[in-house]
Structure 1
Amino acid sequence: MKKLIAYIFFTFIIGTFLFLSAPSNDDAIPTDNSKLIKFSHQFHVDDNEIECADCHKKVTESISLSDRLLPDHETCIDCHDVEDTDNCTTCHYEDKFESLIQTKSELNFNHKIHVTEQKLECVNCHKGLSEVEYAFQSPNSKPNMETCYSCHNDGGVAFNTLNCESCHKITANLIPQNHKSFSFIKTHKFSVQNINANCAMCHQEQTCQDCHTATNVITENNTVSQFFQPYSPSKIKDGIKQQQITRVHELNFRLTHGIEARGKTTNCESCHQVQTFCANCHGSNNEDFALGGIVPTSHLKPNFKTLGVG
């Protein structure tokens, strides 16, 4: 018992020491420029009509996002009297004179082509800055894929959105957030029906056909045990048809499809010719279905027993 009390006591002492020695928020490393400098895009751009290029002077010649594009002390001299040390606190927090933080990017981008050669305005891509103080406060301060697609949507353009490697240095896990839902394969049809859906930004029709291959147009006849693994015409290699497990149905759908069919939660006719496709399994030995019952032919064999019955 004494050992337990001693252990608890020393644990409390160590925990208290670690808590008190932890750095305060004031000592934490800043993650954005709001902790380094007092600045307002709205005041400069909207109220005083200052152009973006007046502060971001190197943008017009920049060919990489690794270039230093944020304004420095020399840039501010054009408008502000930086020699008057009494006015330092107008922009700087006390005892903080660090360089501004420029976030790293995993994109290949050339400002010179867009701004100097293509004559695009900064606000075409960087939106909402005139309404906020710091850039990170605007959700559209950095262009998203939809913004890029407004220009790069032609298959004949070298840098179109189907060529991911043209802009993205790393393509691993390059998936939109709404695609990462565990049920997206089942629910993506609702996203497609959205009036603002733009699947063609990343996908071609072939993408849909990889899964949505209706059995009505398949020439080969699958066996009963393969009915949820149809031959896909798009998987032809050296004249041999490759089989793929489609993602339309779950792997145990053969055992559970009756529940969905009876509950009408799926529309089987979208892909299947019900009168012939279902009859491959659900035969009635050439008798009236009303008499024989729509049951798999395997259930009609002598001495067949179902679980919990007979």
Structure 2
Amino acid sequence: MSHIFNIRFSSKVILFWTLLFGWGLLSFASDKDKDKDNELGYSVKDPKLKLPLEKLYSHGHHALYFENLGVKCNDCHNFSIKSDSGPLAPLVNIRALKSNKKTCHECHLGQISIPRRNQCSLCHDDIAVLMPKDHKINWKNRHGVKAQFDGDACKQCHQQNECSACHMRRDNMNPRVHRGNFRYMHSIEARATPASCVSCHQSQSFCNDCHIGKRN
């Protein structure tokens, strides 16, 4: 009797492990099929398509397909102002970005190897809309005090060499461009590098105040 029981028990054990092994093979095959679909890198915008596998995604293979669907870059790459993915994320608003899809490709197709900070024009048509509110009122005279008390805020967009471009030394922060004989030489320098003047003197009438007799 015990011999018959042992045979039946052994048969059940063998059947159990056989079913378990078979189920494992089916699951593995199913996962492989999913991986195969994921390798195609399709978007979830179309219900027929699978969730993309990030590192295997090919923009080139699917650009025309997505264009026909009306899917844009920012449908997948979200630059929402509510994003918290990085320290500058709260400053970036999708509504201020260029609408042309070539903007993405300027970097991603290798035309620009490493975009530098403060190169706002790479992605934005109107840089004025990005300027912080406290930069718009008498900022030329107030920015030094702000930088001394909250330098980290400046570093989010600006680098140290931007300060050095205008200032001689960090102790007294005298303007580097205004040398002792600046009154006689400034016209030459203004013709050679007008952009250096405009970085501080932005009023259109600033030059005319002297050159048409308003200042003596």
TM surpasses 0.5: no
Q: TM-score, normalised by structure 1?
A: 0.24
Bigger helix fraction: 2
Q: TM-score, normalised by structure 2?
A: 0.32
Which protein has greater RCO, CA pairs closer than 8 Å, 6+ apart?
Answer: 1
